[in-house]
Homo-oligomer: A and B are copies of this chain.
Amino acid sequence: MIDARLVTLRVFARCGTIGATAELTGYSPSAVSAQLRELQRVLGMQLLVKDGRGVRLTATGRFLVAGSDPLIAQWESLRAAAMEAGDQVQHHFGLGGFSTAAAQLLAPLAATLRTTRPLLEVQVLEADPARCFDLLIAERIDLAVIVAMQSDTYGEDDPRFEQTVLLDDPLDVIIPGDHRLASRETATLEELASEPWITEAAGSTYHSLFTAAFTAVGVTPRIAHEAVEWETQIAFVGAGLGVGLLPRLAPLHRAENVVRLRITGKAKPTRRIVAAVRRGSIASPLIQESLRILQVNANRILTARPDEDL
């Protein structure tokens, strides 16, 4: 119910360029430009100034964007309360999440919702955690499942979001089937310190998880290979190229020559998976139901996994 042009301005405040805003909102750059020009005309405020080959927000623009946070939150809160009070049905619901979450958590959620709310049109978008937040601001999605990252630009107390912990996903180690520890069920990171490790490229979302796990026990692993997808990493391990960390939520399927070991020892690395929504919308019955379903599914997967894989 908040004017789309104000939402566009908020997205721009995140992106900094018209082009990126267009990409994120789904408009063309011309449309974004026209929208922001129109917004300035209607409000009688100069919100943008030219800056080099781009544009940037004026002080007034930044003020307006910052001040719009509680406005958005209040609207979300009002809508959620009205939906709850009136027992009404939503007809579109956007979900976002990173790859593992999208496959393991969001897909089942979407399937469940399809049966419990047949009239609801669910859309799932796979996206980076960072992009998920942007999509929330852009109102392209209503709920995001992401890995908590303190290195993120979005703190837990960001006025635009509310975050709830879904689960702490333990990191297991995967090793080749012919590895010296392959018959074990658990291992410590210290035992594996000298192994050739497979991880993601530095700077990626999950690389920091990797390093955090090892700094906790005070060893520096040797990074031998890099993979983007879990599938690739599993294949690398299966080929005997090294060992890797795999979240328990990520399925091993029945990969050839790969064994999953639980990590024991003083540091049990986990990744915290949280659900994020626009502030105010958490009370919405649809979101409440989704969070319940997500938590149930997460726990089910977590407890089922050992029997399936180990």
Q: A1-B6, A58-B86, A74-B74 are in contact. Are A63 and B46 (CB under 8 A)?
A: no
Question: Whole-angstrom distance between the alpha carbons of A2 and B7 in the complex?
Answer: 11
Binding site for B on A (CB under 8 A): 1-3, 5-6, 43-46, 58-60, 63-64, 67-68, 70-71, 74-75, 78-79, 81-83, 85-86, 88-91
Residue of B nearest to A78 (CB): B67
The answer to whether A86 and B60 touch across the interface, beta carbons within 8 angstroms, is yes
The answer to whether A59 and B46 touch across the interface, beta carbons within 8 angstroms, is no
Residue of B nearest to A4 (CB): B3
The answer to whether B82 and A60 touch across the interface, beta carbons within 8 angstroms, is yes
Q: How many copies does the complex hold?
A: 2
Partner of A88, one of B6, B46, B79: B46
Q: A1-B3, A1-B6, A2-B2 are in contact. Are A82 and B64 (CB under 8 A)?
A: yes
Min CB distance A228 to B, Å, is 38
Partner of A71, one of B3, B64, B71, B91: B71
Partner of A3, one of B2, B43, B44, B46: B2
Partner of A59, one of B5, B68, B85, B90: B85
The answer to whether A70 and B63 touch across the interface, beta carbons within 8 angstroms, is no
Residue of B nearest to A41 (CB): B91
Q: A1-B3, A71-B75 are in contact. Are A44 and B82 (CB under 8 A)?
A: no
The answer to whether B44 and A60 touch across the interface, beta carbons within 8 angstroms, is no
The answer to whether A88 and B44 touch across the interface, beta carbons within 8 angstroms, is yes
Residues on B with C-beta less than 8 A from A83 are 44-45
The answer to whether A64 and B78 touch across the interface, beta carbons within 8 angstroms, is yes
Q: Given contacts A45-B82, A63-B86, A74-B74, could you give 11 more A-B pairs where the C-beta distance is less than 8 Å? A: A1-B2, A1-B5, A2-B2, A43-B88, A58-B86, A60-B86, A63-B85, A64-B82, A67-B78, A71-B74, A71-B78
Question: Whole-angstrom distance between the alpha carbons of A70 and B70 in the complex?
Answer: 11
Question: Whole-angstrom distance between the alpha carbons of A59 and B88 in the complex?
Answer: 11
Residues on B with C-beta less than 8 A from A2 are 1-3
The answer to whether A44 and B91 touch across the interface, beta carbons within 8 angstroms, is yes
